Chains A and B, each alone.
Chain A
């Protein structure tokens, strides 16, 4: 039997009178790469926040076979990495690239322990993988958006999680940088035995490792299945309330906005 590493049952999130998630149920198996796709306001980020333990919710959430509330123990938090949307940072903020990557190891180290040689080597290996090593001593605020997203990715991997949540990691990046970040995500998927949840609303910029898509609309799950079926013109047109067509090129499916 395929045991789910993430198990959501009737997850509901309310903010004042708004229903951000409405009874979402979902199971994700180990090493799966799942896309969470939907228009703005569909509840994609809220769903990731629930799994990351950053949002109060109703319903039941199982992680690694254990029932969890939004307040959870450090051990569970360590096993869930989070790559947020590109966030602004004051260019004068006193943190260097290597230090920002190293913040990913702080939770695992625990109190009163400083990063040792092992952590520094791991951080350097990841920075080399992300082609950031030459920027290690640069202030983070001086980096471009794409470089900062790669720092976020390296920071999350350094945490050594079992689940990696990514919230539109390629949003607000130019096309070449988006492609570079997606290639890195595919590379990480090949190298590390991780379960991925990848939030996006850009169907033409999906990692090739994505096997399954969950479509959300107004806080409800409207589709859960393989990525090719999800990327059909009819399904997407209904979801986005806009006529969309899909076509194939080089074995990949693309969406035309008409």
Chain B
């Protein structure tokens, strides 16, 4: 089996798929730390649908779909930022409206696409084996920018994730960090349309962060565990899809779910909370 896998890695499309898996896992899982800790999964889902809708519109207008996906992501980020700061509108409702609007836009584009819909379906589910060299370079560049952002602004990021208003009041450039995050979400999501696709990417924007949340109280470890679980899900999903001849995007997402489930079952934080809960119960019982 191992020999068979090593032999497969000698083929350039498989090599590119393997590299893309690692980059996709790393970039999505770093973002998922923000999505999970800042409680913004709806922003993640809106951005992934923006990338998908933009790419479908790109196909419709004979424009590079990944570039059009990225442009629509940036536009949505530019709208979501100020709208989520408004206090006269519930952010959940506003994001729900945005998400359904973008979904409608994507399906409208698919409906009026006169030529084959295979390209659009690839954007939805991803197609790891048909990645080009330039796709890999773009992914590599965006992942590097994201890693650099986390590395350079780690203390500001911690402060903003802890409490955005307190960070703003105490002179931390909270808006710069928040908007940079939105734009990076757009870039990561649109560059990963070709790997896991616009619909399934949402799983990778939540599950690695949710996995790390079960395992550590240390933010540095949180980023590392999240990245390891994202890369692990992507690579193991690719291997499973290769061995059992299954769709790669779906395999990746199912592996991510399995990793999260294992972390939930074996979570030391949950065990600790349970122990503390039972201590409290006994204390109250004794009174």
Does A94 contact B218, Cβ atoms closer than 8 Å?
yes
* Chain A residue at minimal CB-CB distance from B270: A92
B271 sits at the interface (CB 8 A):
no
Contact between A54 and B169, CB atoms less than 8 A apart: yes
Chain B minimum-CB-distance residue to A79? B171
Q: Could you list which residues of chain B lie within 8 angstroms of chain A, going by C-beta atoms?
A: 37, 87-88, 152-153, 155-156, 158-159, 162-163, 165-173, 212-214, 216-219, 221-222, 269, 273, 276
Sample of 8 further A-B pairs with CB below 8 A, known A16-B88, A99-B219, A107-B171: A15-B88, A53-B169, A54-B165, A77-B168, A87-B163, A103-B162, A107-B159, A156-B170
Tell me if A106 and B88 are in contact (CB < 8 A). no
B222–A159 contact, CB under 8 A? no
The reply to whether B158 and A95 form a contact with Cβ atoms under 8 Å apart is yes
A80–B163 Cα distance when bound, in Å, is 17
Most B CB contacts (10 A, CB to CB) among A52, A53, A95, A104 go to A95
Cβ contacts under 8 Å, B163 to chain A: 84, 87
Task: Enumerate chain B residues within 8 angstroms of A91, measured Cβ to Cβ.
Answer: 273
By the criterion CB–CB under 8 Å, are B173 and A111 in contact? yes
| CB pair A81 B170 closer than 8 Å | yes
Q: How far in angstroms is the closest Cβ of chain A from B6?
A: 38
Residues of A participating in the B interface, judged by any CB pair closer than 8 Å: 15-16, 52-54, 74-75, 77-78, 80-82, 84, 87, 91-96, 99-100, 103-104, 106-109, 111-112, 114-115, 139, 142, 155-156, 159
Contact assessment for A82 and B88 in the assembled complex, using a CB-CB cutoff below 8 Å: no
> In angstroms, how far is the closest chain B Cβ from the Cβ of A75?
8
| Chain A residue with Cβ nearest B39 | A90
Whole-angstrom distance between the Cβ of A211 and the nearest chain B Cβ = 25
Interchain Cβ contacts under 8 Å between A and B, 29 examples: A52-B169, A53-B169, A54-B165, A54-B169, A78-B171, A80-B169, A82-B169, A87-B163, A92-B214, A92-B217, A93-B162, A96-B217, A99-B219, A100-B162, A103-B162, A103-B172, A104-B170, A106-B155, A106-B156, A106-B159, A106-B172, A107-B167, A109-B155, A111-B152, A111-B173, A114-B155, A139-B217, A142-B276, A159-B171
Q: Name the residue on B nearest A80 (C-beta).
A: B169
Find the residue from A78, A81, A106, A111 having the highest chain B CB count within 10 A: A106
Is B156 within 8 A of A111, CB to CB? yes
Residues of A within 8 A of B214 (CB): 92
List chain A residues, Cβ under 8 A from B276.
142
Closest B residue to A106 using CB positions? B159
Q: Which of B155, B158, B168, B212 has the most CB of A within 10 A?
A: B155
Q: Are A74 and B152 in contact (CB under 8 A)?
A: no
- Please determine whether A107 and B172 come into contact, CB atoms closer than 8 angstroms: yes
**What chain B residues lie within 8 Å of A74 (beta carbons)?**
171, 173
Q: Which residues of B contact A104 (CB under 8 A)?
A: 170
Closest B-chain residue to A96, C-beta based?
Answer: B217
Assembled-state Cα–Cα distance A15/B222 (Å): 39
**Residues of the B chain whose Cβ atoms lie less than 8 Å from the Cβ of A84:** 163, 165-166
A16, B162: Cα distance in complex, Å? 29
Is there contact, CB below 8 Å, between A99 and B158?
A: yes
Are B87 and A77 closer than 8 Å at their CB atoms? Answer: no
From known contacts A103-B159, A111-B156, infer whether A92 and B213 are also in contact, taking CB-CB under 8 Å: yes
Closest partner residue, chain A, to B218 (CB atom): A94
| Nearest-CB residue, chain A, relative to B157 | A106
Contact call A77/B169, Cβ cutoff below 8 A: yes
The reply to whether A111 and B153 form a contact with Cβ atoms under 8 Å apart is yes
User: Which residue on chain A has the smallest CB distance to residue B225?
Assistant: A94
Q: Report yes or no: B170 in contact with A94, Cβ–Cβ below 8 A.
A: no
Contacts of B217 in A (CB 8 A): 92, 94-96, 139
Nearest B residue to A112, CB-CB = B152
Q: What separation, in Å, do the CA atoms of A223 and B170 have in the docked complex?
A: 30
CB <8 Å contact, A115 and B170: no
A78 touches B170 (CB 8 A): yes
Chain A residues near B216 (CB, 8 Å)? Answer: 94
Candidate in B170, B172, B276 with the most chain A CB atoms within 10 angstroms: B170
Known: A82-B166, A103-B159, A115-B155. A108 touches B219 (CB 8 A): no
Q: Quick check: B170 and A106 within 8 Å, CB to CB?
A: yes
- Taking a contact as CB atoms closer than 8 A, the residue among A15, A95, A99, A114 that contacts B87 in the complex is A15
Residue contact B172 to A94, C-beta cutoff 8 Å: no
> With A and B bound together, what is the CA distance between A19 and B213 in angstroms?
41
Residue contact B37 to A82, C-beta cutoff 8 Å = no
**9 smallest A-B Cβ distances: which pairs?**
A107-B171, A77-B171, A107-B170, A82-B169, A139-B217, A103-B159, A78-B171, A74-B171, A106-B159
Chain A residues lying within 8 Å of B169, measured Cβ to Cβ, are 52-54, 77, 80, 82
| A84, A93, A96 pick with most chain B CB within 10 angstroms | A93
